[in-house]
Structures are given as structure tokens and as C-alpha cells.
Amino acid sequence: MKKNKPLLVGITGGIGSGKSTICKVFSTLGIPVYEADSRAKMLMTQDPALIESIKEAFGESAYTPEGQLNRQHIAAQVFKDGNKVSILNQLVHPKVGEDFRAWAAAHQAYTYLLNEAALMFESGRYQDLDKVITVFAPEKLRIERVSKRDTQRSREEIQAIIHKQLSEEEKITRADYVIHNDGKQLVIPQVLKLHKLFEEIHKGENIL
């Protein structure tokens, strides 16, 4: 990383960890945030090459006549063939990587940029970044948060999602920094500490 380029920082965390809330705090400090999951959804309906690849893998019915992603059709395909998830990821993740690099190139005036993604390590996206933050919260608290947010989901469904994701212990081990969003520690001081650290790294004043 050259000093005149922004530090590229990833931020991840399991469902209900509160990573989106943490990103909002960084945003109030003037830091741009690339939301990988929402950008992926956008690319799946706007990138012609990606759309064509998804149709080849999942059939023409992967999209509605209006051009929207037919999630029910794709979910049914995945249910029949578990390998379809990997196929979809192999199609989408490289496109998101390209999109992020273009986005980062357009935001060169900042000291650092954030890339928010749920599957930061699983997708290999962390390899394009300088540092990675994981947001931690106990499973019980995460389930409570998601239950309030996504009332249509049962506790069992939420637990199933959690158990399919990389474990919190693994995320912590692989991350450079951890923000504890467990309701016991104040979040803003943790964010401010990292904000100061990233600015120092960008200036070359801190090599950690």
C-alpha cells in the first residue's frame, strides 16, 4: 500500500452482530462505506454479463419478465443441488471484486475506505484489503436482534443461518481488529480508536 492511496479496511460479522450499525458510525466520521451485499444484488440485475451467466447456470426463469431476480426459483434450484450455492458465489464474487476496485479508485481522496461484507473471509474478499475488522456479539444477543428485525424468521431459521456462517471464533482469529458490540462495551470509543489508528497508518505514523 502506497501512502498516497487510501487504506482499504474490511468490516465483517455474523448476522445480527451489528456491523451495519458500526458502519453508520464510521460514516458519520466522513468515511465512505462500500456495502458489498447490496452492491451484489444490484449487479445481479444490472450487469449484462453476470445476468447471462446466472441464466446459463439457473435457467431463464432465474429472472422475472420484469428483469428482477427470481429468488424463489434460485432457492428451489439450490435446495435440489447444494453445489448451486458455490456456482452462484463463483459468478457473483468476482464481479463484486471488480466493482469494489472501481469504487475505491473513485474515492482516492480519503485516508481509508470501508468494505462491509458478511462473507468477507468465505468469499476471499479480504485478500484485496489492507486490514479487516470483525464485529462481535454473543449468539444469544444476535438471535434476539434478528428476531426483532426479521419477524418473519423463526428462531430455528436464524440459528441455521448463524451455523452456516464462519464461526465467531474463526472470524476473530482471522481479523486484525475486533469491535465488541455486545451491549456491555461502548461502541463509539472503539470506532474512534480505530479511526485514529487508520489515519495514523495512512500517514505512516503507525505501522501496526
Q: What is the mean pLDDT of each run of 10 residues along the chain (208 residues)?
A: 78 92 96 95 95 94 93 85 86 94 96 94 89 94 90 86 86 96 93 96 69
Q: Spell out the residues 6+ positions from residue 206 whose beta carbon is closer than 8 angstroms to its own.
A: 197, 200
For residue 90, the one-letter residue type is: Q
Query: What local confidence, expressed as pLDDT, does residue 160 receive?
Result: 84
Evaluate whether 101 touches 10 at the Cβ level (below 8 Å).
no
Query: What local confidence, expressed as pLDDT, does residue 2 receive?
Result: 46
User: Among 201, 198, 204, 206, which residue's Cα sits nearest to residue 11?
Assistant: 198
All 3 cell numbers of residue 141? 444477543
Query: What local confidence, expressed as pLDDT, does residue 116 receive?
Result: 96
Query: What local confidence, expressed as pLDDT, does residue 207 receive?
Result: 52
Domains and CATH numbers, the chain: 1-32+107-208 (3.40.50.300), 37-97 (no CATH)
Query: What local confidence, expressed as pLDDT, does residue 133 receive?
Result: 97
DSSP string, 4-27: TS-EEEEEE--TTS-HHHHHHHHH
Evaluate whether 130 touches 10 at the Cβ level (below 8 Å).
no
For residue 153, the one-letter residue type is: R
Query: What local confidence, expressed as pLDDT, does residue 152 receive?
Result: 86
All 3 cell numbers of residue 46? 444490472
d(CA 205, CA 68): 48
For residue 38, the one-letter residue type is: S
Using alpha carbons, list the distances in angstroms from residue 66 to 38, 45, 126. 19, 10, 34
